[in-house]
Structure 1
Amino acid sequence: MKIFIPKQHGAWAMLVIPFFLGMVGGGADVKHIPLFLGWLFLYLATFPVMMLVKKKNIAYYRKWVAIYGMISILFLLIVVWAVPMLILFGFSLVPFFLVNLFYAKKNHDRAFVNDIVAIIVFSVGGLASYWVGEGRLDGWAWFIFIQSILFFMGSAFYVKSMIREKNNKQFKYCSWGYHLILPFLAVMLGAGWAVFGFIPSSLRAWFFYGKKLSIMKIGIYELVNSSIFLIVMSIFLISM
Structure 2
Amino acid sequence: MPRRSGSTWLPDQHGAWAMLAVPFLAGTLLAPRPGWAHAALFASWLLAYAAVFHGQQWLRLRRVARRRPDAAARHVRPALVLGAACAALGTPLAVAHPWLPLAAAAAAPFLAVNTWYAWRGRERALANGLAAVVPACGMLLVAAGLGGMPAASAWRPALACLLYFAGTVPYVKTMIRERNSRAYRRGSVGYHAAAVAAAAFLSPWTAIPFAAYLARAAALPGRALKPPAVGAIEIACSAALLVTLAAAFSG
TMscore range, shorter length:
over 0.9
TM-score (norm 2): 0.90
Tell me, in whole angstroms, the C-alpha distance in 2 between the residues paired with 1:197 and 1:233: 10
Alignment deviations for residues 48-79 of structure 1 (CA, whole Å, 9 cap, x no partner): 11111111523210101011101111111121
Deviation at 1:131, TM superposition (A): 1.1
Whether contact under 8 Å (2:157, 2:249) holds in the other structure is no
Tell me, in whole angstroms, the C-alpha distance in 2 between the residues paired with 1:197 and 1:173: 20
CA RMSD of aligned residues (A): 1.3
Tell me, in whole angstroms, the C-alpha distance in 2 between the residues paired with 1:233 and 1:197: 10
| Alignment of 1:183 onto 2:187 | no
Q: Which residue of 2 aligns with 1:5?
A: 10
Tell me, in whole angstroms, the C-alpha distance in 2 between the residues paired with 1:58 and 1:177: 40
Tell me, in whole angstroms, the C-alpha distance in 2 between the residues paired with 1:176 and 1:90: 33
Deviation at 1:135, TM superposition (A): 6.0
5 Å-filtered alignment, 1:103-182, equals: 103-134=117-148, 136-138=150-152, 140-182=153-195
Whether contact under 8 Å (2:133, 2:166) holds in the other structure is yes
Whether contact under 8 Å (1:19, 1:126) holds in the other structure is yes
Tell me, in whole angstroms, the C-alpha distance in 2 between the residues paired with 1:58 and 1:175: 35
Tell me, in whole angstroms, the C-alpha distance in 1 between the residues paired with 2:161 and 2:19: 8
Tell me, in whole angstroms, the C-alpha distance in 2 between the residues paired with 1:226 and 1:72: 26
Whether contact under 8 Å (1:29, 1:133) holds in the other structure is yes
Query: Match for 2:23: what amino acid?
Result: P
Tell me, in whole angstroms, the C-alpha distance in 1 between the residues paired with 2:85 and 2:108: 19
Tell me, in whole angstroms, the C-alpha distance in 2 between the residues paired with 1:223 and 1:48: 24
Whether contact under 8 Å (2:174, 2:184) holds in the other structure is yes
Whether contact under 8 Å (2:59, 2:72) holds in the other structure is no
Deviation at 1:93, TM superposition (A): 1.1
Tell me, in whole angstroms, the C-alpha distance in 2 between the residues paired with 1:60 and 1:85: 34
Alignment deviations for residues 184-222 of structure 1 (CA, whole Å, 9 cap, x no partner): 01122x122222121221111111111010011000111
Give ranges in structure 2 of 5+ residues lacking alignment. Answer: 66-70
TM-score (norm 1): 0.94
Deviation at 1:158, TM superposition (A): 1.1
5 Å-filtered alignment, 1:6-155, equals: 6-27=11-32, 28-54=34-60, 55=62, 57-134=71-148, 136-138=150-152, 140-155=153-168
Whether contact under 8 Å (1:161, 1:168) holds in the other structure is yes
Q: Tell me the number of residue pairs that the alignment of Structure 1 and Structure 2 aligns.
A: 237
Whether contact under 8 Å (1:24, 1:237) holds in the other structure is no
Tell me, in whole angstroms, the C-alpha distance in 1 between the residues paired with 2:150 and 2:105: 17
Q: Which residue of 2 aligns with 1:207?
A: 219
Instruction: Indicate the SS of the match to 1:193.
Output: coil
